[in-house]
Structure 1
Amino acid sequence: MTDNPLIRLAGLAADWYTKPIDQAVDTAVRKAALDWFATTLPGTVRAPATLMAAADLGTGPGGGQAICYVGGDRTSPRRAAFLNGTASHTVEFDDIYRDGGYHPGSPTIAAALAVAHDRGLSREAFDRAVIGGYEAGCRLASALQPGHYEFWHITATVGTIGAAVAGAMLLGLDRDRIAHAIAISTSFAGGHQQNLQGQSMVKTMHPGHAADAGLLAAYTAAAGATGALDSLHGPLGYALATGAGAGNWDAAFYGAGDWTPITRMTVKLHGCCGHIFPALDGLAAMMAQHALTPDQIAAIHVEGYGPTKTICDRPDPQSAQEARFSLQYCLAAQMILGSVRLAATEPQALADPRIRALMPMITISRAEDLAAEYPRRRMARLQLRLKDGRQIDHFQPTRHGDPDDPASTDELIVKFHELAGPVLATGEADRLARIILDGDTLPDALIAAPAAA
């Protein structure tokens, strides 16, 4: 077996050309596709995807049969991948590979659908490419965490590699050519934390760029271009250059050949940053268990792992994007609105005085024992102080939707209809869900005449 992690990742992906797809893997890839459409379609009627669709990006619509869901036209694969990948990350509902802190679906499925539609490929070819793209991308994300995430947005960076693998597989490249696609894509991969955490539309565009750049890597590898095959682990390679040291390759290849990452995905059931989820789940449990109402609460303190504090401690968010990354806002919104879904970041909610009144009561700190378990475990401790003097403590050991507390298929279907239904023509949501979950053709999401979003 090769000691070169890049070659090994390429081989694991290429195995999915012929490897039997058992029921668990088949179910997982279908759920991933449904979840991708659930999170993508509401983003197709929001900026920045709508801005980019109307702009001159230097390519024009181009010739091609790839479906751009931002407007419903046929276009070139790379343009479709960019716009669809951007839309898929807009409302913060895209899937998570917990152990890598990575959203694989946004770039990988955007890239795979673009090539599959453009070339008229089979559903099976699409499914296998998605599985292979998740295999390589998720395992690489595990190798780079947690150091890489300090300065880099891992969905933007590793998403480029996942998209390159999926694209390369749909172009029919063998293991060696897939390896070169990975090597090439490491030089195309970017996206830093300042544009994730700052006032910017760029974070949303990160997966779009990853899908586009990944396809560029795949197409160039198909044309015969080569990359340095030690570009991941070499002394000047991607792992070292992006803060991951030599790379944790033992973590990357844990269970390789025995299970594939797409079967261990997290479904997001809250429309905000996943680092807030343990606190949201813990607070909901406490409110229900003790029959509490918001007016009884004097203070809430949350202890979390590193990014809970560094990314999500935002006591006064002003925009929808900031609100999705504000633990204070999301906990207050859940108490007032009952959930953190699309409505929680609409202008009316952002200005709701009831939510704003609760936010100053909520504080956050980093707990070193919880931080030591990140990224494999996402936990929180909550302390509620009530106005009557009582104090209630709660430890939240996981997030609902993670592999150890998975979302049900019914919950995923409800999420799909809630998020995607308003964007689609009447009856289209039911048809699309049936095709994705039970059909043998490529999902197409006919949204040429969508209902009002």
Structure 2
Amino acid sequence: MSNAVDAASKTQARRRGPTLSRRDLGLGAAAGGVAIAGRALGETAPPSSPSLSHPGYDARFPAPGEKTAADYPVSPMTERLAAYISGAGHRELPPLVIEQTKWHILDTLAAIVAGSQLPAGRAGRAFLAGVGGKPVATVIGSTLKSDAINAAMVNGTTGHGHEIDDTGGASGPWHPGINVVSAALALGEQFGTNGTGFLRSVALGYDIGGRVGTAAGLLRNFRTPTVSVCGIFGATAAAACVARLSPEQTRFALSYTAQQSSGIDSFRRDPDHIEKGFLNGGIGARGGVTSVLLVKAGFTAVHDIFEGPANFFALFRAAGQTVQPELMIEGLGTRFDVLAAGFKRRPVAGAISAVLDSLEALLERRTIDPRRIAKIVVRYEPNSVTDNGGPPDANMQHAVAMTLVDKRLSFQSIHDRSRFSDPLLVRLRSITTIAPVTIYNQSGKYIDPSTPGRAAALGSKAPVIQLTMADGEIISQGDVPSRGESSNPYTREWIVEKASSLMTPVLGVRQTSLLVESVLNLEQLGNVRSLSALMSSAHGDTESRLSDWPLRTRS
């Protein structure tokens, strides 16, 4: 037995190679050196050494001496990005950017007010009741106040506890308003920011969030790293502007934001649109405020999280995405992404809106008895997040069925959970098939299925929706013009009507009118804290007050 053990020990020793004792390591070259593969310990590795291919190797690291790895050089790109964010509070914006930033602020506040009546809003208030917090920031749609971090998180989650908040559009796959506005408002109340500073910080957040997502190569395929990345960087930029961070502090804040970037796009399985709200709004708003307050408190960080070993973009490269860091600063100061952001014209996920446009056009020219429908085919993308999604307002089949039965769809009706089990609606959902349609044009550019005029962009003549009746008759409808196209753009009047319709049931006519007027005249606001009373509601959890918006859809 002992011979067998000795033989095994010798074999293991050969596999391990030379063994160094603590004494050997302590003496090193001073004691004549310890030979490792014919080289003394501490001897510089030759150029062909495997150590040069180690993932931690980078020639830009300072040599040992006065400097350390913490002195890794900051790239010109990151310097420019941080300087732009830091100086945004003093930078004037073009008139069109000012006007449309106000639209998005108003649209976002309306989304949060309306969402306060839904499960996400109620859950958020219950959370705050348990954790408390210094009452410095408004919890919109209630009489509560909390600390800036938790208020931003609850407002961000509440604002996407449904499908009426804005979207990044061409600037990236994200929901900018609920991240950026929630963060800027919470810190704006803490620091007493004026209306102009608040407005500029929001416009900045839209610029940075979309650019970071684009630079990381984020895809709207819900399989690669989460799109919530855009939200947290947009929120951080807006919060940094409000807090007046220096360029160096801004770089620190961006580093903490990279550390917090997280999320899994599993929300197709979310039953109540609460986790989806947290992922797409709450995480970002909370993280952005947290990063900035950490730095304000004296936290230091890596000087440049976008360059060097283990940088922010490494995760996305590992996922096989096309990473282009230079896109973070492309067009800064000349291209304003708030102008590319989109508005929801219906209370459903954006991809569903174009289908409902076509369905309503069909219903305008034909009287359809939903009980006689044998089959429904929708041209979209099978297995997308809206293909039989968990939340009713993110479920293509349910939205189509509701529209066929009610002839219209409203914020109130889509959130009536009792309708989800209605036998007729269940049957219509069961006979609805989603057929694939190519969503990339010939140049390889992504075409968002919710984009107005998508059929023309795709060069496709396939019908958007097709009904087969019990007698075999086939009725179909192609793509139709809708609000948001160049021939029928969004207007101030449209935004005000949408926001007022959503907020009035919660805030009342007079309070809603004053809030709308204040947002449209933000430059005259000496302190955003004056918005607090206008965003508060005493209704709380006593009853749900849901709007019947939209009364008109395609106009």
Deviations 1:320-352 (A, max 9, x none): x52222111111212223024232121243233
Q: Summarize the Cα distance change of 1:49–1:446 in structure 2 as closer, same or farther, 3 Å threshold.
A: closer
Separation in structure 2 between the aligned mates of residue 336 and residue 364 of structure 1, nearest angstrom: 19
Q: CA deviation at 1:81?
A: 0.8
Q: 1:10, 1:136 within 8 Å by CA — same for their partners in 2?
A: no
Please tell me the residue identity of whatever aligns with 1:349. R
The 1:6–1:282 alpha-carbon spacing in structure 2 relative to 1, beyond 3 Å, is farther
AA of the residue aligned to 1:433: V
* Code of the aligned partner of 2:366: A
Per the alignment, residue 428 of structure 2 pairs with: 358
* 1:382 lines up with 2:464 in the alignment: yes
Q: Which moved more, 1:118-127 or 1:338-347?
A: 338-347
Q: After the TM superposition, which of the residue ranges 21-30 and 203-212 deviates more from structure 2? A: 203-212
1:325 to 2:383 alignment: no
SS at match of 1:368: coil
Counterpart position of 1:106: 178
User: Aligned partners of 1:10 and 1:292: how far apart in 2?
Assistant: 58
Identity of aligned residues (%): 21
Q: How does 1:25-40 map to 2 (within 5 A)?
A: 25-40=97-112
Q: TM-score scaled to structure 2, two decimals?
A: 0.72
Does the 8 Å contact 1:423/1:447 carry over to 2?
A: no
Instruction: Give yes or no for contact 1:233–1:240 (8 Å, CA) kept in 2.
Output: no
Deviation digits for residues 153-193 of structure 1 (CA, Å, limit 9, x no counterpart): 41x33211111111111111133322321221011121111
Measure, in 2, the Cα distance between the counterparts of 1:403 and 1:81.
34
Amino acid in structure 1 at the alignment position of 2:275: V
Distance 1:102 1:263 in 2: 15
- Higher gyration radius (CA): 2
For the residues of structure 2 that align with 1:146 and 1:240, how far apart are their CA atoms? 16
The structural deviation recorded for 1:241 is 1.2
Q: Deviations over 1:59-88 (max 9, x none)?
A: 5222x4211225322321112111111111
Write out per-residue CA displacement over residues 196-255 of structure 1, whole angstroms, 9 at most, x where no aligned residue: 534473222222232112111112223443444553465633334143635245765554
Cα RMSD after superposing both structures: 3.0
Deviation at 1:421, TM superposition (A): 1.3
Closer, same or farther in 2 for the Cα pair 1:252/1:364, shift >3 Å? farther
- 1:429 to partner: Cα distance: 0.9
- What TM-score do the two structures reach when normalised by structure 1? 0.86
Q: Identify if the C-alpha distance between structure 1 residues 104 and 427 changes in structure 2 by more than 3 Å, giving closer, same or farther.
A: same
> What does residue 353 of structure 2 align with?
277
* Aligned counterparts of 1:419 and 1:184: Cα–Cα separation in 2: 36
Distance 1:161 1:148, change over 3 A: farther
The whole-number CA distance in structure 2 between the counterparts of 1:248 and 1:286 is 44
Q: Distance in 1 between matches of 2:143 and 2:108?
A: 16
Q: Is the 8 A contact 1:268 1:401 kept in 2?
A: no
Alpha-carbon offset, residue 449 of structure 1: 2.5
Three-state SS of the structure 1 residue aligned to 2:464 is strand
Per the alignment, do residues 393 and 291 of structure 1 end up closer, same or farther by CA in structure 2, a change over 3 Å counting?
closer
Distance in 2 between residues matched to 1:13 and 1:355, nearest whole Å: 50
**What is the CA deviation profile of residues 349-403 of structure 1, one whole-angstrom value per residue up to 9, with x for unaligned ones?**
3233443332233211332354854255644652414425454555438874478
Give unpaired runs (5+ residues) of structure 2: 1-73, 456-462, 546-555
Q: 1:86 aligns with which of 127, 138, 157?
A: 157
Q: Do the aligned partners of residues 58 and 232 (structure 1) sit closer, same or farther apart at CA in structure 2, a change above 3 Å counting?
A: farther
Is 2:335 the counterpart of 1:259?
yes
- Return the letter of the residue paired with 2:402: A
What does 1:111-260 correspond to in 2, within 5 Å?
111-143=183-215, 144-146=217-219, 149-154=222-227, 156-195=228-267, 197-199=269-271, 201-206=274-279, 207-232=281-306, 236-242=310-316, 243=319, 245-249=321-325, 255-260=331-336
1:74-129 deviation line (CA, Å, top 9, x unaligned): 32111211111111111221110113121011111111111111222100111111
Show the counterpart of 2:384: 310
Q: Alpha carbons of 1:189 and 1:393: their partners in 2 closer, same or farther (altered >3 Å)?
A: same
Count of equivalent residues: 442
Residues 73/334 of structure 1: CA separation in 2 closer, same or farther (3 Å cut): same
- In the other structure, the counterpart of 1:411 is 494
Report the residue type matching 1:447 in the other structure. Answer: S
CA 1:77–1:310: 2 relative to 1, 3 Å? same
CA–CA separation in structure 2 for the residues paired with 1:146 and 1:177:
30
Matched, 1:72 2:155: no
Q: Could you tell which deviates more after superposition, 409-418 or 267-276?
A: 409-418
In the TM superposition, residue 50 of structure 1 has moved relative to its aligned partner by 2.2
Q: Check the 8 A contact 1:168/1:222 in 2, yes or no.
A: no
State how far apart, in whole Å, the 1-side matches of 2:104 and 2:430 are: 37
SS in 2 for 1:238: coil
Q: Which amino acid aligns with 1:396?
A: D
Q: Does 1:268 align with 2:344?
A: yes
8 Å CA contact 1:98–1:375 kept in 2: the answer is: no
Quick one: distance in 1 between partners of 2:377 and 2:208?
38
Deviates more, 1:339-348 or 1:9-18: 9-18
Equivalent residues of 2:153, 2:283 under 8 A apart? yes
Partner Cα separation in structure 2 for residue 16 and residue 229 of structure 1: 20
Q: What SS is found at the alignment partner of 2:119? A: coil
Structure 2 CA distance for aligned equivalents of residues 213 and 417 of structure 1: 30
Residue deviations 1:124-164, cap 9 Å, x none? 1111111111110022223332178424441x332111111
Pair 48,344 (structure 1): closer, same or farther in 2 beyond 3 Å: closer
* Map of 1:447 onto structure 2: 536
Q: CA deviation at 1:294?
A: 4.5
- Match in the other structure for 1:345: 415
- Would you say the 8 A contact 2:248–2:303 is kept in 1? no
